Amino acid sequence: MGVDGNHLWTAFGPTNVAIHRVNTAMELGDVQVALDIGPALDTSTLPLERQVRHLLDVARAYNNSGQKDAAVATVLDAERRAPDQVRHHYLSRQLVLNWVRNTPGKPAFELDQLARRMHVVG
């Protein structure tokens, strides 16, 4: 087809195929492929669920490559788009909980507030 569409809520098209490439790369542990494709991908024409799920994979890629600040910023971007989806998704919850647990001392304000909104810390 060559263009994005949302026929019968499939979000079918080249952008969704690229999202699946990023997700598959992450599942296979190929963080570099995910970082080569993911951050620059414009998902704005896709349903919000697809956009947010993609951002969580990009956050995982940043996190796995040691770019925690970029990972946190990406999760916060996803939360701004769909707060409930991010706050209850296992990927975002796992990332945030690991960040909070592995931060020596008190986490940065934004991370602390995100963790509180997600109810992963007291």
Q: Give the integer Cα–Cα distance in Å for 61 and 26.
A: 7
pLDDT at site 2: 55
First and final C-alpha spacing in the chain: 49
**pLDDT of residue 57 exceeding 90:** yes
Q: What is the mean pLDDT of residues 41-62?
A: 93
Number of domains in the chain: 1
Tell whether 1 is covered by a domain.
no
CA 73 vs. chain centroid, Å, equals: 10
Tell whether 12 is covered by a domain.
yes
CATH classification of the domain holding 98: 1.25.40
Q: By the 8 A CB rule, do 114 and 96 touch?
A: yes
Tell whether 86 is covered by a domain.
yes
Domain residue limits at 21? 7-118
Confidence of residue 16 (pLDDT cuts 50, 70, 90): confident
Confirm whether pTM is higher than 0.75. Answer: yes
Tell whether 2 is covered by a domain.
no
